[in-house]
Amino acid sequence: MAETAAPKVAPDERLVRVGPLAGLLTRPDIGAFLGAVAVFFAFGYFARSVNWIGDPGIAAGWTDQAAQYGIVAVPVALLMIGGEFDLSAGVMIGSSGLLLGYLTTFKHMNVWPAMVLVLVFGLVIGLINGLTVVRTRLPSFIVTLATFFVLQGVNAAGTLKLTGQTAIQDIDTARGFNSARRIFAGDLTHYGFKVKVLWWIGITLTGAWLLAKTRFGNWIYSAGGEPNAARNVGVPVARTKIALFMMTSTIASLMGIIEALELRSMQAKEGIGLEFIFIICAVVGGCLLTGGFGSVIGTLFGAAMLGMVQLGIIDAQWDSNWTFTFQGGILFAAVMLNTLIRSRAQKAR
Amino acid sequence: MTMAHLLEADHISKYYGNIVALNDISTYVDAGEVTCILGDNGAGKSSFIKILSGVHQADKGRLLVEGEEVHFTSPRDARAAGIATVYQDLAMVPLMSIWRNFFLGAEPRKGFGPLQWFDSGKAKSIVRRELSEMGIDIRDPDQAVGTLSGGERQSVAIARAVYFGARVLILDEPTSALGVKQAGVVLKYILQARERGVAVIFITHNPHHAYPVGDRFVILNRGQSLGAFEKSEIDRQELVRLMAGGKELAELEHELEAIKVEV
Ligand SMILES: Nc1ncnc2c1ncn2[C@@H]1O[C@H](COP(=O)(O)OP(=O)(O)OP(=O)(O)O)[C@@H](O)[C@H]1O
Ligand SMILES: [Mg+2]
């Protein structure tokens, strides 16, 4: 208040005092948060026979599943806020895990340098996606759909040619496997919580910080919200988008590494289908399909919700085929709720 | 050869495909001066300033800053040269807050080494101060720009350009959505910027706004220059007449009279 030289000071008479609750209800991530709480307590009831609420071992299960979704959902959300999609984010998990398997079991590389090569592979695929979208001005939906199908074929044909099977096995025979597994895919000391969960939280917090507190975050919002305006005031929109594509496929590669180390083998069809789960997490988390608006913290709650549904349905002893129906229902409800919240955020302020 | 001008456009032409938007336009502006560019809708005013601010590149002609030829490949280059622009469409992102828009592309940062973050506290206080100096007192710098009134939005865009336009300030019809008081404030701003030694390029189709603040007037019509005049060479009536194309204005007044009679 002290910084204004103008006569006007302190509370503006045109500002209706909003209570903390009403203020909270304009945040983009609040819908996902409330949804996650609701799903948690719903399974607290339906899965009460396994002590859903009280048993940390149960929580270890669904957080593992949520991390599986949530890690890659973070860059997918940022990319979506930046106005683009990446449909190759799922298949990249498979490609990267297979590449790690190939380098370690067929080329006899140590796991650590092999991981570096896999991450470089992620950067390159992201660069290709990004450059193609920026240069051709084609919708990223189409460009990355093409990448998706190309990689899907490579994964299947390559694995079959190498192994004569549909998976690369015995990744745990590689040098450096144990030390790498401890850091990327090990267990924490208590209750069987996975290290992966820490990666999920860490990547989420980094993404949220990047979006809210850095110059790059400002550029992401503007690149998705009104790219022309952003360009006219000097935002390097193309570079911002390319960086986002590179982040997305590199973190998908990280996820591929985590899975390969965790499972000790990699299926050729791994990751396929997850690209839509990531988008659901982001949308549930408050990201707008048209870009320019969204939340990384909300995406974390979206992933938590989907993780809970996945395991809750099993723990409640329902037919797990209902999972998809639930995911669809959550997506629909979340979109409705978020639309409501957003219109409040824009009008009621 | 006289002294080099701060910003000079030298025989600029611009084509959009087969559309000739600008044909052989030359003008300049010096520190502490206001060059006004006037013309009807579609005359090419916005196309011209987009070349000066790096959005478009000229198909013919040269751009000179202090006598040195420059090639702005993006608005970032122009901004780095101290040229800030209020675009006719304002170049704001509706879903983003006022303070985020204000510093978009030129975010103040703090931190150490590679770990740098956007100094949002500083950004918000600057926004509040700059806007209140303009007589626009925003309720909340966190308000989304899309929810501001047209005039408020225009004021934010102007305040932003004034804040960043260290050497050259370009305004593309900045008063079109403003109330009388705010339009007056903008004209006062232009004069203040001129006092500070900033070079101003002011685009308008209102000669009554242009004449009091301008030092030089360039009149565009269908991509052609109808002439460039120093203030000493032209008076207000002549400017109005030139802009409207004398005869047409007389006809227009006649038509308006006819309407009045009917009503
Ligand atoms: N991107 C573009 N592609 C094709 N034609 C364009 C483009 N931009 C402008 N034009 C054309 O160039 C001409 C000049 O447009 P410009 O926007 O510079 O006019 P203006 O003088 O700013 O008009 P106004 O007073 O309405 O803002 C118009 O005929 C317009 O249709
Ligand atoms: Mg114009």
Q: Which of A4, A14, A345 sits opposite B139 (nearest CB)?
A: A14
Q: Is the CB of B47 under 6 A from ligand 1?
A: yes
For residue A175, pLDDT over 80 is answered with yes
pLDDT of residue A12: 58
Confidence of residue B137 (pLDDT cuts 50, 70, 90): confident
Q: What is the average per-residue pLDDT within B82-98?
A: 92
When scoring A17, A205, A218 by the number of chain B Cβ atoms within 10 A, the one with the most, hence best to mutate, is A218
Q: What Rg value do the Cα atoms of chain A yield, rounded?
A: 22
The answer to whether the Cα torsion of A15, A16, A19, A23 is positive or negative is: negative
When scoring B104, B128, B172 by the number of chain A Cβ atoms within 10 A, the one with the most, hence best to mutate, is B104
**Unique residue bearing structure tokens 């007056």:** B184
| C-alpha angle A289-A22-A25 in degrees, rounded to nearest 5 | 25
Measured in whole angstroms, how far is the alpha carbon of residue A321 from the centre of its chain?
Answer: 23
For residue B182, pLDDT over 70 is answered with yes
Strands B216-221 and B115-118: unpaired
Q: Which of A4, A213, A225 sits opposite B94 (nearest CB)?
A: A225
Domains and CATH numbers, chain A: 30-339 (1.10.3470)
The nearest alpha carbon in chain B to A221 belongs to: B96
Q: Which ligand is nearest to the CA of B22?
A: 1
Q: Is the CB of B225 under 6 A from ligand 1?
A: no
Instruction: Tell me which residues have their CB within 5 A of the ion that is ligand 2.
Output: B 45-46, 88
Question: Residue by residue, what is the 3-state secondary structure of B104-172?
Answer: CCCCCEEEECCEEEECHHHHHHHHHHHHHHCCCCCCCCCCEHHHCCHHHHHHHHHHHHHHHCCCEEEEE
For residue A343, pLDDT over 90 is answered with no
Q: How far is the CA of B222 from the centre of ligand 1 (A)?
A: 10
Walk across the sheet containing B224-230 and list its strands: B83-86, B168-172, B199-204, B34-39, B216-221, B224-230
Q: Is the CB of B204 under 6 A from ligand 1?
A: no
Assess contact for A130 and A140: CB atoms under 8 A.
Answer: no
CB-side neighbour CA atoms (13 Å) of B32: 3
pLDDT of residue B224: 87
Confidence of residue A21 (pLDDT cuts 50, 70, 90): low
CB contacts of A215 in chain B (<8 Å) are 107, 109, 116-118
pLDDT of residue B253: 62
The span from the CA of B242 to the CA of B229, in Å, is 11
Q: What is the average per-residue pLDDT within A206-212?
A: 95
pLDDT of residue B180: 82
Report the SS3 class of residue B15. Answer: strand
A81 vs chain B: nearest CA distance in angstroms?
11
Residue B97: DSSP 8-state:
B
Q: Which of A221, A233, A293 sits opposite B91 (nearest CB)?
A: A233
pLDDT of residue B215: 93
| C-alpha angle B235-B239-B241 in degrees, rounded to nearest 5 | 120
Measured in whole angstroms, how far is the alpha carbon of residue B48 from the centre of its chain?
Answer: 11
Q: For A53-101, how does the pLDDT look when each residue is reduced to its tens digit (9 = 90+)?
A: 989 999 999 999 999 999 999 999 999 999 999 999 999 999 999 999 9
The nearest alpha carbon in chain A to B54 belongs to: A232
The candidate with the shortest Cα–Cα distance to A286, out of A221, A327, A341, is A341
CB contacts of A293 in chain B (<8 Å) are 95
CB contacts of B96 in chain A (<8 Å) are 218, 221-222, 225, 292
Chain mean pLDDT for chain A: 90
Ligand 1, atom 17, lies closest to the CA of: B46
Q: Is B71 exposed, middle or buried (0-12, 13-18, 19+ CB in 10 A)?
A: exposed
Q: Is A346 exposed, middle or buried (0-12, 13-18, 19+ CB in 10 A)?
A: middle
Q: What Rg value do the Cα atoms of chain B yield, rounded?
A: 20
**Distances B188 to A312, B132, B160, B178, B212 between C-alpha atoms, Å:** 66, 15, 16, 14, 10
pLDDT of residue A1: 38
Q: For A312-325, how does the pLDDT look when each residue is reduced to its tens digit (9 = 90+)?
A: 999 999 998 889 89
CATH of region B7-262, choose from 3.60.10.10, 3.30.56.10, 3.40.50.300, 3.40.640.10: 3.40.50.300
Q: Which ligand is nearest to the CA of B220?
A: 1
pTM of the prediction? 0.89
For A324-328, the CB contacts below 8 A with 24+ separation are A327/A277, A327/A280
pLDDT of residue A20: 61
Q: Look at A222 and A9; give whichever has higher pLDDT.
A: A222
pLDDT of residue A13: 61
For residue B135, pLDDT over 90 is answered with no
For residue A31, pLDDT over 90 is answered with no
Q: Which ligand is nearest to the CA of B50?
A: 1
For residue A9, pLDDT over 50 is answered with no
Confidence of residue A145 (pLDDT cuts 50, 70, 90): very high
Q: Which two structure tokens, joined as six digits, stand for A178?
A: 């144990």
The span from the CA of A230 to the CA of A134, in Å, is 15
The span from the CA of B80 to the CA of A249, in Å, is 33
Q: Which two structure tokens, joined as six digits, stand for B167?
A: 């050497």
pLDDT of residue B69: 93
The answer to whether the CB atoms of A347 and B147 lie below 8 A apart is yes
Confidence of residue A25 (pLDDT cuts 50, 70, 90): low
The answer to whether the CB atoms of B105 and A234 lie below 8 A apart is yes
Assess contact for B38 and B54: CB atoms under 8 A.
Answer: no
Q: What is the average per-residue pLDDT within A18-39?
A: 76
| C-alpha angle B189-B195-B196 in degrees, rounded to nearest 5 | 90
For residue B60, pLDDT over 70 is answered with yes
Confidence of residue A349 (pLDDT cuts 50, 70, 90): very low
Q: Which of B55, B104, B118 sits opposite A222 (nearest CB)?
A: B104
Least confident window among A158-172, B62-76, B138-152: B138-152
Confidence of residue B179 (pLDDT cuts 50, 70, 90): confident
The candidate with the shortest Cα–Cα distance to A331, out of A254, A277, A253, is A277
The answer to whether the Cα torsion of B5, A233, B155, A4 is positive or negative is: negative
Least confident window among A144-153, B102-111, B190-199, B236-245: B236-245
Amino acid present at A189: T
Helical (H) or strand (E) element with B76: helix B75-80
Domain boundaries, chain B: 7-262
Q: Which two structure tokens, joined as six digits, stand for B223?
A: 């991509």
Strands B7-16 and B60-65: antiparallel
Ligand 1, atom 27, lies closest to the CA of: B41
SS3 content of chain B, % helix, strand, coil (to 5): 40, 30, 35
